[in-house]
Structure 1
Amino acid sequence: MSLVGDYDELLRALDLPAKVRLLTGASFAALHGDPAIGLAPMTFSDGPTGVKGQSMSGGPLACLLPNATALAGTWSEELLLAAGELLAGEAVRQGVHVVLGPTINLHRSPLAGRVFESFSEDPLLTGKLAAAYIKGVQKRGVGTSLKHFVANDAETERQTVDNRVDEATLREVYLLPFEIAIEDADPWTLMAAYNAINGVTATEHDALLNGVVKGELGYHGLIMSDWFATRSVAAAAGGLDLVMPGPYGPWGQALVDAVAEGAVAEEAIDDHVRRLLRLADRVGALGSPRAHPEDPPAPDDPQRRAQLRDMAAAGMTVLTNDGVLPLGSENRIALIGVPATDTVLLGGGSSMVTAPHQVSIADGLTAVLGDRVRFAGGVEVRTTPAPARAGFVTDPVDGRPGIRVRLMTGDGDELTDDHMADAQRIIGFDSGLAGPVGRVRLSARLDHKGPVQLGVLGLGSWVLTAGALHEEFVVEPLTGIPGEAILAPRPHTLIVDLDGPVVVEAELDLGRTEHALVGLIARPAPKTDEEAIADAVRAARGADLAVVVVGLTDEQETESRDKTTLALPGAQDALVEAVAAVAPRTVVVVNSATPVLLPWADRVDAILAVGLPGQEGGHAVAAALLGDLEPAGRLVSSWPIADGAGPAWSVTPEAGVLEYAEGPFVGYRGHAAGRAPAPRYWFGHGLGYGRWEYADARADLAGPAPRVTVAVRNLATHTSREVVQVYFQPADAGQPVRLVGWAGAEVGPGATADVTVECDARLWRRWDTSAHRWADLDLAGELLIARGLGDIRLRAAVEPNGNLHRA
């Protein structure tokens, strides 16, 4: 039954301790229930790239979607709605009530480690795509969590940093995507971040949580903390409704006492509980349980696999192309680069998902072209070796690709004995065990002859055995940062010459460590860069064309740490230069979610940016390269020409403070204003497989924001999707250019379509810092109709009186 509007009656049935008990989680990812009022426990799950379940790792098999920038690269609200519906089905299948996403922090600096998990550098694009995602999830009765509120745009010192943002920039840029998502989609929860904003911790920020979100925006949902982000009972008065995780935290009896002492009003507690009850009502955890009418497809169902492949390809972006793409299926291809076989399909950190499989680019191309594809290796791309690939190692018990993981008490009593497809596991958040985990044993079978690199990932005392090999060692902490054992564990490796099948065992004594990421490393011993480049050059000379796959890894694109450079790791640039010098044609595939430097861009024939394309990534890349699916994506971040060549760069606080000194001139806004050199590729850039002619632009200025219509003609021989972008350049030099609307259209070869862009009125205002309110933006300026600011097709001047004429 629905109890909407009757929450006060339920509140009256609870005393103060019972109310406060509900306001801290019951466990790492679940809430308390209360049978007396018909409240069932609710479960949460990380969700930006898939519903991982309540386990930090080793959870149920789940669909692994393309990452956020790859989805956003489609510039398609319809596709984000479909992604939300898919995630809702995954949540229903797992019994999850709230998916913790979307992440809508902005790409302020391309060095930020978690940029891969956020949509874009633009607040309008971010907000509108987030709203579509939220609608898709919540239409199935599953909640979302808009995160991380607010100005949580980098990882360095993220728990303690004070981000200083001027009032106008905070309102016009960083709060705007949250405002759009709340107004357009009403997410059922919002997550307050770790950082402080202008001196006040996000979870205690009365002016933002109570004043802006619950007050000005009229938000009726629940505001929870990021995990371990709540510092004190002051957050209860500052607008926070729920502390996560539990069962411990700073509230509990301390909050009961604070209410008794008058430091926190009981009315505030009632508001928090009322919001929690509303969430429970919405997700079917209050009153009679909700029945879901159909069983969603499994993660490896053919329907799901095709959907995920199509989503991934749609967001891939053609950066350059001299006509070599799409490829012909008759080509003999030299496939080069470690990311071709070890394709990075998801980022690192809390959003990792246990997928049913992960299809590499090599697998995808070989499935279509067979022996026309020859893999020629590549240079080392990682500083820390990745955990063993399923297939190179197998479970010694059941023979499946992956490893065997046994969790034991400190005395050696067995707690679990499981197969894992991934050769790593997070320890310490496991529920339902008979005792605390004190020891971990990882084992795998290798059918390999020759030198291999063996080792472990994780802090503590280890014993490693493989045949005659027996080694004991201790891996010590390096940084001392909170959470290092999970977010930045160190490896220990050695080279061993194997002569046939062997079982590798690695046993860890955790000691006093309660939470840890542990993994088994096993792979063929890497070649030197010189040897790898020589092999690649020989292969490229003997092929019709070379496809070189380069990219970043989860060492750079991860929660917990930021990058120091946009340069590709290792000798990948040298590899591309050497191959391009000898290959008849060279196509480069960039396997990264975020901008990288491409110093060789003018010396190759085509570049395709594929993001982190999810479980079907290899099939999607093959379809995009061969033209079976169009890579019609547009960039969601500007790609700088060099390190430091962006309007906002440093992510390193000074004395705990990070100044957003660029103000509203972030991303393309700063490049266009001359506050940084022109980027190599502008926000919004993407060629697809069409060629476009723009004509006959018309603008209707009668409403609160313009409606722009333009005729676009596809001059190519392929059906293609065009994304018409409209920007407004105010005459006031103190106001940056900004995206005000966009629209996509699929157009056949030689055909013309009228595309209408409904501009958003929220971009035609400014924050008046003297009056602390919104004011109308002067209409004088230019409308720019473009394929990104690097390819402006039409301009129209807007006079102060609102009249329009061609510039």
Structure 2
Amino acid sequence: MQANPDLIAGEFDTLIASMTVEEKVALVSGRHMWKTAEIARLGIPSIIMTDGTYGVRYSIDQIDGDQPGGQDFAAFLSVVNQKANGVQVAFGAINSATCFPNGSSVACSWDVGLMHEMGAALGKECQELGVGLLLGPGINIRRTPLGGRSYEYYSEDPLLTGDLAAGLINGLQGQGVGASLKHFACNNSEIERTSMDSLVEERALREIYLRGFERAIGQSNPWTVMTSYNVLNGVQAAENPWLLGDVLRDDWGYDGLVVSDWHGIKDRPASLNAGNDLDMPESGKRKQDLITAIEAGTVSAETLDLSVRRVLELVRKALINSRKGEKFDRATHHALARRIAGESIVLLKNDGVLPLDPNASLKIAVIGGGAEEPVIQGSGCATTLPTQVDAPLAEIRKLAGVNLDIRAYQGFSEDLSLAADLADEAVEAAKSADIVLIFGTTEVGYDGEGSDRRNLSLAPGQDGLIAEIARLNPRTVVVLSNPDAITMPWLDDVAAVVETFFSGQGMGGGVADVLFGAVNPSGKLTVTFPRKLGDVPGFLSYPGENRRHIYGEGIFVGYRGYDARETEPLFPFGFGLSYTDFTYSDIALDKTELRSGDSVTVSFTLTNTGARAGKEVAQLYVERSGQRHATPPRELKGFAKVALAAGESQRVTITVPVDDLRVYDTSLGCWVLDNGAIALKVGASSRDLALSAEANCVAAEGRYRPILRDTQPIFMLNNPPARRVFRQFLEARLNVSEREAEGMLEHCTNSFIGLFTTFERRFRIQFSEDDIERVLADIEQAVAEDARVQA
């Protein structure tokens, strides 16, 4: 179809005016599973969208064959029952594409530039396949390590999440392919995911669960934002006017398109009124519901036309950026996947056994089926059919010298009739080996969309076998493939632990590179590893009941909660080892008086004191004390990944906008900078901060609580402008001196009831409603004026 010239030129008024109501409804309702609707009469073609967050999953039957889903919602969601490497289940035959490291893996790189490279590669693959919109990245906070989609998501921290997502989006959209930032918001568990009500107080929402979206949108402006399946504070996310209107549009200024998750809309008219522009996939019932609502006047023509305009803009951007005939280089992209895997692997423990010497004369026992058939990704809509898969065992053998005797043993089996014999064989091999490499995995059937994990253990039998082998051979190295944090009952007995998470089709090569030191590991954890499940901050309220999930830990998510409760983790947020050593020194700030709208630059010297070149992720945290709002002991506010040769030093700078130091005050309904002293600390992890510099935040807006008629006297008396206004009111109203008025105020200091009621109780003085309203208004004006002067 020849696209309408008005569409290409962005002249939408005539097009919209020419459309019937039915055509408009079709355009905001999608076409089958993966396309927008085509309006042939007006020269409006469809565009293709598809998953996923770390690879392009292109359904040949559903896209090229233009097939509808062919399944009801429950059947569609059954995709989660597939094995992670058996992707041709719910979507029919699919094209192969590069399976890059999943979110929980690639985020451990802490490398925004690397995320940009990955996004650009995904964009090139989309261009070859004719995909105009890729449904990712997924950036929900990893509130619990049991979360079924944690493998797709980046971190428990919103700043890191937002910055990494922006890198990927900018790389993807730089190739002319749109991103769909998802899932908005609070999709932190897969239990009853379309009906569970996530009950989150507003400060936690703003500072934790929405902040990553806000940062990503501010830095990358994704073409679309996808709403989540869950209910949020009593309203379906896809139909939530506060979330989509007040926050996304009004507060953040987002002007792109909002698309639903697939069948995530339950009330189509409500969703359109709330600002959810595009309903996916096509649903005859929801289309008819919308037409009926338009005819009844419950959805206005203006509301419908606004969403039509946004769909047209999305179609236009995809069309003008389309590069037909584009081909991506499979080998180049596989090499990139391997490099990203190597950059993202986290070395959690090493007593010196790593890196392996490829030229040594050693007998190495490699145990675990994951060495030959690696678990490279989770299960669900993001699952990608890889172009090739590197097996760790094969890649290890490629790098090994002729004197390394490498023998493989399955070790584990889900078949109980085989498990005992395989374990015995592995144990015997380990006894005589110089080094044991064990590849451990979690339960693949539970590592994916649609169901949360059941525990933090490895798959049945694996923890026990690792413990037994480690007791027999202390030179045991454990290589892990898992979606999120696990417990490690054998940790003290093994020599080394290499964490890969789900690191894509280049996992085998990445692991081999790290084991032999061809790559010096530089990945760092983006979540806290607990010693036991009960240590997780949200443990007592997870997973909710009766369709209500209360996020009882508030802002104390992840490391914030561990630090506040002084809980010792298995591994802290930001932790990761290297084959070299780094020292931090000479911290300095470019200013020590911090005001809203400014920025502060923290500089320090980082030195590689070891014998190998390496990369260090330097992290900057803020610690507050004595300020009005309750805050975690420390919060991440910046980071830098720095490459240094052996012996090299570099002056590193991290610049933090002072507004990033603000907290959300629910009583004022806005972000405020707390007045007072802070410490800016730099180091290797959240629990290893070598440097500290002091600064002082100067602000007035966050200094005082709002004064209401029932505010206790102490809060008014500790608020100088409010105290002044009320004292002057007393002088005039009661005809008393300043000294007498001050004495009355001091006498009220310890009252537990409102100030006006306190005067009635203690002095038998009553104030009229007009007096009360006038003095409150004068106080509000005086506090606002004080804030302007302080700023």
Interval containing the TM-score (normalised by the shorter chain): 0.7 to 0.9
SS at match of 1:359: coil
Which residue of the other structure, out of 168, 172, 184, is the alignment partner of 1:133? Answer: 168
Pairing 1:790–2:684 present = no
Which residue of the other structure, out of 724, 743, 754, is the alignment partner of 2:640? Answer: 743
2: distance between equivalents of 1:4 and 1:106? Answer: 39
Residue 237 of structure 1: aligned partner: 273
2: distance between equivalents of 1:651 and 1:59? Answer: 36
SS at match of 1:706: strand
1:221-242: CA deviations, max 9, x gaps?
Answer: 1111101111112111111101
Residue 374 of structure 1: aligned partner: 407
Q: Call closer, same or farther: CA 1:734–1:747 in 2, change over 3 Å.
A: same
Residue 345 of structure 2: aligned partner: 316
2: distance between equivalents of 1:220 and 1:83? Answer: 26
Tell me if the contact between 1:552 and 1:568 (Cα under 8 Å) persists in the aligned partners. Answer: yes
Q: Quote how far apart the aligned CAs of 1:258 are.
A: 1.1
Whose Rg is larger?
2
Q: Call closer, same or farther: CA 1:584–1:229 in 2, change over 3 Å.
A: closer
| More displaced stretch, 125-134 vs 598-607 | 598-607
Residue 663 of structure 1: aligned partner: 554
1: distance between equivalents of 2:322 and 2:115? Answer: 25
Q: Call closer, same or farther: CA 1:625–1:143 in 2, change over 3 Å.
A: same
Residue 651 of structure 2: aligned partner: 754
Q: Quote how far apart the aligned CAs of 1:527 are.
A: 5.2
SS at match of 2:439: strand
Q: Quote how far apart the aligned CAs of 1:4 are.
A: 5.7
1:520-567: CA deviations, max 9, x gaps?
Answer: xxxxx6654433332112111222201111121432320000122112
Q: 1:784 corresponds to which letter in structure 2?
A: K
Q: Call closer, same or farther: CA 1:211–1:584 in 2, change over 3 Å.
A: closer
Which residue of the other structure, out of 479, 487, 496, is the alignment partner of 1:597? Answer: 487
SS at match of 1:548: strand
Q: 1:33 corresponds to which letter in structure 2?
A: E
Q: Quote how far apart the aligned CAs of 1:157 are.
A: 0.5
Q: 2:382 corresponds to which letter in structure 1?
A: S
1:392-426: CA deviations, max 9, x gaps?
Answer: xxxxxxxxxxxxxxxxxxxxxxxxxxxxxxxxxxx
SS at match of 1:116: coil
Pairing 1:734–2:630 present = yes
1: distance between equivalents of 2:546 and 2:556? Answer: 24
Pairing 1:21–2:50 present = no
Q: Quote how far apart the aligned CAs of 1:762 are.
A: 4.5
Q: Call closer, same or farther: CA 1:761–1:44 in 2, change over 3 Å.
A: farther
Q: Quote how far apart the aligned CAs of 1:262 are.
A: 1.4
2: distance between equivalents of 1:174 and 1:304? Answer: 32
Residue 141 of structure 2: aligned partner: 106
Which residue of the other structure, out of 39, 47, 54, is the alignment partner of 1:42? Answer: 47
Sequence identity percentage: 33
| More displaced stretch, 635-644 vs 54-63 | 54-63
Q: Quote how far apart the aligned CAs of 1:347 are.
A: 0.4
Q: Call closer, same or farther: CA 1:760–1:588 in 2, change over 3 Å.
A: farther
Pairing 1:116–2:151 present = yes
Residue 614 of structure 1: aligned partner: 504
Equivalent residues in 2 for 1:44-123, closer than 5 Å? 44-55=49-60, 56-123=91-158
Tell me if the contact between 1:722 and 1:744 (Cα under 8 Å) persists in the aligned partners. Answer: yes
Q: Quote how far apart the aligned CAs of 1:253 are.
A: 2.8
Q: Quote how far apart the aligned CAs of 1:58 are.
A: 2.6
2: distance between equivalents of 1:579 and 1:742? Answer: 39
Q: 2:690 corresponds to which letter in structure 1?
A: R
1: distance between equivalents of 2:188 and 2:92? Answer: 25
Tell me if the contact between 1:742 and 1:759 (Cα under 8 Å) persists in the aligned partners. Answer: no
Pairing 1:188–2:84 present = no
Residue 694 of structure 1: aligned partner: 584
Pairing 1:264–2:264 present = no
SS at match of 1:355: coil
Q: Quote how far apart the aligned CAs of 1:76 are.
A: 0.4
1: distance between equivalents of 2:542 and 2:92? Answer: 29
* Runs of at least 5 residues in structure 1 that lack an aligned partner in the other structure: 383-524, 803-807
2: distance between equivalents of 1:201 and 1:576? Answer: 45
Q: Quote how far apart the aligned CAs of 1:796 are.
A: 2.2
Tell me if the contact between 1:742 and 1:758 (Cα under 8 Å) persists in the aligned partners. Answer: no
2: distance between equivalents of 1:760 and 1:599? Answer: 42
Q: Quote how far apart the aligned CAs of 1:247 are.
A: 4.5
SS at match of 1:780: strand
Q: Quote how far apart the aligned CAs of 1:296 are.
A: 3.3
Q: Quote how far apart the aligned CAs of 1:757 are.
A: 1.1
Report the TM-score when normalising by structure 2. 0.80
Equivalent residues in 2 for 1:565-714, closer than 5 Å? 565-583=455-473, 585-649=475-539, 650-674=541-565, 677-701=567-591, 704-714=598-608
Tell me if the contact between 2:163 and 2:215 (Cα under 8 Å) persists in the aligned partners. Answer: yes
Pairing 1:719–2:613 present = yes
Tell me if the contact between 1:57 and 1:352 (Cα under 8 Å) persists in the aligned partners. Answer: no
1: distance between equivalents of 2:600 and 2:454? Answer: 41
Pairing 1:363–2:373 present = no
1: distance between equivalents of 2:282 and 2:315? Answer: 18
Q: Call closer, same or farther: CA 1:210–1:249 in 2, change over 3 Å.
A: farther
Equivalent residues in 2 for 1:512-523, closer than 5 Å? none
1: distance between equivalents of 2:285 and 2:375? Answer: 36
Tell me if the contact between 2:154 and 2:161 (Cα under 8 Å) persists in the aligned partners. Answer: yes
2: distance between equivalents of 1:346 and 1:156? Answer: 20
1:767-791: CA deviations, max 9, x gaps?
Answer: 1211212222335222121211221
1: distance between equivalents of 2:524 and 2:225? Answer: 28
Residue 771 of structure 2: aligned partner: none
Q: 1:358 corresponds to which letter in structure 2?
A: V
SS at match of 1:644: helix
Tell me if the contact between 1:102 and 1:134 (Cα under 8 Å) persists in the aligned partners. Answer: yes
1:206-264: CA deviations, max 9, x gaps?
Answer: 111011112221111111110111111211111110111115341x2321221221111
Tell me if the contact between 1:552 and 1:569 (Cα under 8 Å) persists in the aligned partners. Answer: yes
Q: Call closer, same or farther: CA 1:595–1:223 in 2, change over 3 Å.
A: same
Q: Quote how far apart the aligned CAs of 1:140 are.
A: 1.1
**1 or 2 for the larger relative contact order (CA 8 Å, sep ≥6)?**
1
2: distance between equivalents of 1:349 and 1:800? Answer: 46
Which residue of the other structure, out of 639, 663, 667, is the alignment partner of 1:766? Answer: 663
Q: Call closer, same or farther: CA 1:42–1:294 in 2, change over 3 Å.
A: closer
Q: 2:689 corresponds to which letter in structure 1?
A: I
Q: Quote how far apart the aligned CAs of 1:280 are.
A: 1.1
1: distance between equivalents of 2:9 and 2:638? Answer: 36
Q: 1:229 corresponds to which letter in structure 2?
A: G
SS at match of 1:223: strand
SS at match of 2:206: helix
1:628-677: CA deviations, max 9, x gaps?
Answer: 12221010110001121111125422111000000000000011111x62
Pairing 1:295–2:326 present = yes
1:44-88: CA deviations, max 9, x gaps?
Answer: 110212001135243011111111111111000000000100000
2: distance between equivalents of 1:170 and 1:313? Answer: 34
1: distance between equivalents of 2:96 and 2:698? Answer: 59
Which residue of the other structure, out of 748, 754, 776, is the alignment partner of 2:673? Answer: 776
Q: 1:709 corresponds to which letter in structure 2?
A: S
Equivalent residues in 2 for 1:480-559, closer than 5 Å? 528-559=418-449
2: distance between equivalents of 1:738 and 1:5? Answer: 44
Tell me if the contact between 2:142 and 2:150 (Cα under 8 Å) persists in the aligned partners. Answer: yes
Q: Call closer, same or farther: CA 1:40–1:196 in 2, change over 3 Å.
A: same
Residue 227 of structure 1: aligned partner: 262
Which residue of the other structure, out of 273, 290, 308, is the alignment partner of 1:273? Answer: 308
Residue 520 of structure 1: aligned partner: none
1:82-103: CA deviations, max 9, x gaps?
Answer: 0100000110011111000000
Q: Call closer, same or farther: CA 1:584–1:178 in 2, change over 3 Å.
A: closer
SS at match of 1:241: coil
Pairing 1:163–2:59 present = no
Q: Call closer, same or farther: CA 1:328–1:766 in 2, change over 3 Å.
A: same
SS at match of 1:742: strand
Q: Call closer, same or farther: CA 1:368–1:146 in 2, change over 3 Å.
A: same
Q: 1:671 corresponds to which letter in structure 2?
A: Y
1:267-310: CA deviations, max 9, x gaps?
Answer: 110110111111111111xxxx65528733243x2x22211110
Tell me if the contact between 1:705 and 1:764 (Cα under 8 Å) persists in the aligned partners. Answer: no
Q: Call closer, same or farther: CA 1:710–1:678 in 2, change over 3 Å.
A: same
Report the TM-score when normalising by structure 1. 0.78
